[in-house]
Structure formats: structure tokens, C-alpha cells
A and B are shown apart, each in its own frame.
Chain A
Amino acid sequence: MQGFQPILLSVHGLSCTVSGRQLWHAVGLEVGAGERWAVTGPSGSGKTVFLRTLAGLMPRQAGEIQLRGQSFDRVWVPAWRAQIVYVPQRPALPEGSVQAALAAPFRFRAHRGRAFLSEDAGRYLAQVGIAADFLRQDVATLSGGEAQVVAVLRALLIQPSILLLDEPTASLDPARAGKVEMLVHHWQSAAPDRACVWTSHDPAQLTRVSDLRLAIGSPS
């Protein structure tokens, strides 16, 4: 993994204290293009808070984050989030069809000039063995696992540089979990300048989906 890959994301001295309790302190991280990371730590160590902080969804208390050499504080935040997308454990999807849910982000100003192509979505779905008529299904009828597939697919389609996956398969059966893993794999291998960061309770999954580890939180 070493070599000439450019650094996509670099984190220095990131600290976080929640109601008087220090979650993590002076965390550093450099994510290079093509890398697959896992953030590990005991439960309650703030893995979710860490990923949300990287996406700028939470106020940063101390430290510095840069994306391709640009500091978070000097970038228009929606443009930052178009590049580094956070996928939560239990995603909420808007009412309507799967296709509408996938197309919705393309209305945002941060994605101006780009359009949702159902062929792109269909291609990703085909790669994980889901027929294209899945796109016409109503979001309300999806199972938890199917909703998670939609959430990950929705994040992939806006073509970020970095995907932050927070326990994306925690409530899924192994078959569905495998599909989410495959989706991310296909996305990442389609271009060289992509990286992902996972958290998971399942050590076997982390072995499958990541090569590099970042341990945060004080071991209790």
C-alpha cells in the first residue's frame, strides 16, 4: 500500500470531549488514495463521533482536517461533504421510490452540472446481483438491509473521494452484508483516487474490508 499514492485526507491532533469525558485525544490519520481503513475502539469510544467529525457534521473541538491539502475551515462545507460522505448505521430515506431517493442529492447546489443516471445505479445493482426493477420499489416497503444498500448506493453515486461507513451492516444478514461490502469494493476499484473508512463490530468483516487500522479511545 505504500508508495506514490497522494494523500487524500489528513487529520492532526483531533480531540473530542463529551460532557466532561474525553473520548479521544490528539488523533492523527493520513488516508492515501486506494487505501482501506478501519477505525477500531471499545464500544462508546466515539467511533461514530469521529467519522461524523471528519464529515464536518459535528463541530470540531480541537485539531485540523485537510482534504487534498485544503483545510476544512477554508472549504465551502457542502463541497467538502460531496467529497467525503458519511453513511450512518441506520439511514433515513425520503418517501417515494428508490430511484427518487437516489436522484434527490443531484438537486443540491454542490452537485450542480451533474445528473442522476439510472444506468449507473443499475450497473452497481447488477454487480451485486440485484435486478434493476429494484429502482421502482417504494422506499417504505424496503427491509432494513435493502434500505442500507440504497443508502450506500446513494453515497457512491455522487462519486466522493472518501466513504465513511459507520457500522453499515450491523443489522444485516450475511448475504446482504456481503452485498454492501461488494458495492463498496466495486466503487473503490473503479478509480484510483478513492478510499474508505469502516467501523464494524464484526472483526471478520474488518479483516475482509480493510488493510489499515486506527485505534481510538482509551482501552478500558
Chain B
Amino acid sequence: MKPSYLEIGNWQLAFSAGLILVNLLLSGWLRLGLTRSLAVASVRMAVQLLLVGLVLDYIFALDRPLPVVAIGLVMTAFAGVAAVNRTRRRFAGIYLNSVLCVFAASYVVTGAALLGILNVEPWYRAQYAVPLLGMVLGNLINGVSLALGHFMDGAMRDRDLIEGDLALGATRWEAAHPLIVASLRTGMIPTINSMLVMGIVSLPGMMTGQMLAGAAPASAVRYQIVIMFMIVAATTLGTFGVVLLAFRVVFSRQHQLRVDRLRLP
């Protein structure tokens, strides 16, 4: 069956790589020092995507639930680790916390969408499950890392203020509440902002992809609307979970602020 879009061949792929020559030339001429990292990033991007394409082709062809769930778990674990790696500070168990929250938020929301909204039959069809989960994870990483980073940096920055409240009889929750609220807002705001301008300033990647693949714009935007609500729900759940777990580490049961448990790697 001939697809309804233009296939990209190897030579065409190679020509597209020529586009970054512009950057390489400029970088060399102005001594930006970006040549190396740009080359590494370009090669990594191409290799990672080509490999993922092979893996996904295989999984799509298998059409079994287990491989779909397995690749989902691998993606989730990478997302959880990546979210932590974008923050500056660390505490014991931070990676586990992040992976757990990313897992719970993305699986609950993607599962609800597959079963309850799109009514995909059977639910594990990789064509739907993998891209939806991937979209959710990609955005969840941002929310989780922003909220987590804001919480840890804020606890360190405002420690005198927070401890001042604790010293006057605040519970750990009362003392942390302004910081928790600010952290959740920080995690949510990029998603909210992107929804405000969506379609006017930016054409979302998934929607664009569907249109390239031949979908009618009017049906592509419907997918985009569903995915945005999924992203909002997952980001809310994920950021709330990860901030709450960090709160339980940074504020002890004895209502003490334990910034000594935060360290810079």
C-alpha cells in the first residue's frame, strides 16, 4: 500500500543534514565553540531516532500488549531520570521519586485516554499508545523538573524565612505552603502558556505530523485538543506528586527544615 505522504529516502536524509552546515560554518568562523557539541548532538539525534524507528516498527508489527507496556516503562524511566537531571540539587531517593511520579501520572492519564476517551480496541494498539505516552512524557519532564527544581532551590533560598515560621510554631505544612504553591505554579505555567497561543503562534508538532501524514486539519486539531488536556492532567498529577515527596524529605516529621539533606552534585 502506498502511503498518502512522501517517503524520505537515505539521500534525502543526508541532504537534510547539510542544513546544519550553515551553523557549523558560522560556529567555526566566529569561534563560538559549538562545533563539537553540535556535531555530537546531531549524530546522537539521528542515531537515536533511527534506532527507535526500528524498535517501534518491530513492536507495531508484534501487536502484543507486553512489548507496548515494556517500551512504555523504558520511556517512563528515561523521562523520570531526565527530569531530575535538569535540576541542580539532589537528595537521597530523588530519582526513584521522580520515576514513580512520572510513571503514575503518565500511565493513569494515558490509560484513561486510551480506554475512556479514544476507546482504542484493543487498548494496547501501539499506533495510539506509544505516541500518546510519548507526548505526555515529553511535557511531563518539563513540569516535573521545573517544579522540583523550584522547590529545592526555594527551600535553600528561603530557609531563613521558612525556619522563622517554624520557630514561631508553624507546622511543616504551614511553613512550606507558599513554596509548594509557587513550585506547582512554576511547573504548570509553561503548559498553560503554550495552550494560550496554540494554533495562533505555534503549530504543535503532533498536529503538524498528522497533517503531513495526510490527516485532515480539522481532525488533527481534535487529537491535539485531547492531547493537551492529557498533558495538563498528567503535569498536574506529576508535579504535585514529586513536590509532595520532596517536601517529605526536606521537611522532617519533627517539623524541621532539613536543607542539609539537599546537596549539589
| Given A56-B256, A109-B174, CB of A90 within 8 Å of CB of B167 | no
B160's partner among A55, A58, A88 (CB-CB below 8 A) is: A88
Q: Are B256 and A57 in contact (CB under 8 A)?
A: yes
Q: Are B169 and A111 in contact (CB under 8 A)?
A: yes
Interface 1/0 per residue, B146-181 and A, CB below 8 Å: 000000000000101101111111110010000000
A178 to B: closest C-beta gap in Å: 24
A145 to B16, CA, bound (A): 66
Asked whether any CB of chain A lies closer than 8 Å to the CB of B254, the reply is: yes
| Given A57-B163, A90-B160, A92-B160, CB of A108 within 8 Å of CB of B252 | no
Q: Are B254 and A59 in contact (CB under 8 A)?
A: yes
| Given A105-B169, A109-B171, CB of A77 within 8 Å of CB of B255 | yes
Using Cβ atoms and an 8 Å threshold, which residues of chain B touch A100? none
| Given A56-B256, A92-B160, CB of A85 within 8 Å of CB of B167 | yes
| Given A56-B254, A59-B252, A110-B171, CB of A81 within 8 Å of CB of B164 | no
A107 to B: closest C-beta gap in Å: 8
Number of interface residues of B (CB under 8 A): 18
A56 to B158, CA, bound (A): 19
Using Cβ atoms and an 8 Å threshold, which residues of chain A touch B168? 81-82, 85, 105, 108, 154-155, 158
A57's partner among B158, B167, B171, B174 (CB-CB below 8 A) is: B167
Asked whether any CB of chain B lies closer than 8 Å to the CB of A124, the reply is: no
Q: Which of B206-265 contact A (CB under 8 A)?
A: 252, 254-257
Q: Which residue of A lies closest to B175 (CB)?
A: A108
B210 to A: closest C-beta gap in Å: 48
A149 to B: closest C-beta gap in Å: 15
B76 to A: closest C-beta gap in Å: 35
Q: Are B171 and A78 in contact (CB under 8 A)?
A: yes
Q: Are B254 and A110 in contact (CB under 8 A)?
A: no
| Given A88-B160, A88-B164, CB of A108 within 8 Å of CB of B171 | yes
| Given A92-B160, A94-B161, CB of A59 within 8 Å of CB of B256 | yes
Asked whether any CB of chain B lies closer than 8 Å to the CB of A91, the reply is: yes
Using Cβ atoms and an 8 Å threshold, which residues of chain B touch A78? 169-171, 255
Q: Are A93 and B164 in contact (CB under 8 A)?
A: yes
Asked whether any CB of chain B lies closer than 8 Å to the CB of A86, the reply is: yes
Using Cβ atoms and an 8 Å threshold, which residues of chain A touch B167? 55, 57, 81, 85-88, 155
B178 to A: closest C-beta gap in Å: 9
A82 to B170, CA, bound (A): 9
Interface 1/0 per residue, A143-170 and B, CB below 8 Å: 0000000010011001000000000000
Using Cβ atoms and an 8 Å threshold, which residues of chain B touch A82? 168-169
A80 to B: closest C-beta gap in Å: 8
Using Cβ atoms and an 8 Å threshold, which residues of chain B touch A57? 163, 166-167, 256-257
Interface 1/0 per residue, A66-87 and B, CB below 8 Å: 0000000000011101100111
Using Cβ atoms and an 8 Å threshold, which residues of chain B touch A81? 166-169, 255
B212 to A: closest C-beta gap in Å: 50
Q: Which residue of A lies closest to B158 (CB)?
A: A92
| Given A57-B256, A77-B254, A81-B169, CB of A108 within 8 Å of CB of B174 | yes
B161's partner among A56, A92, A109, A154 (CB-CB below 8 A) is: A92
B157 to A: closest C-beta gap in Å: 10
Using Cβ atoms and an 8 Å threshold, which residues of chain B touch A56? 254-256
Give the one of B160, B169, B174 with max A CB within 10 A: B169
- Give chain A's interface residues, CB within 8 Å of chain B: 55-59, 77-79, 81-82, 85-88, 90-94, 104-105, 107-111, 151, 154-155, 158
Given contact pairs A57-B167, A59-B252, A81-B169, a sample of 9 additional A-B residue pairs in the complex whose CB atoms are under 8 Å apart: A55-B167, A57-B163, A77-B254, A81-B167, A93-B164, A94-B161, A108-B171, A110-B170, A158-B168
- Give chain B's interface residues, CB within 8 Å of chain A: 158, 160-161, 163-171, 174, 252, 254-257
22 A-B pairs with C-beta separation under 8 A: A55-B167, A56-B254, A57-B163, A57-B167, A59-B256, A78-B170, A78-B255, A81-B167, A82-B168, A82-B169, A87-B167, A88-B163, A92-B164, A93-B164, A104-B165, A107-B174, A108-B165, A108-B169, A108-B174, A109-B171, A110-B170, A154-B168
9 interchain residue pairs of minimum CB distance: A92-B160, A110-B169, A82-B169, A92-B161, A105-B168, A77-B255, A86-B167, A78-B169, A81-B169
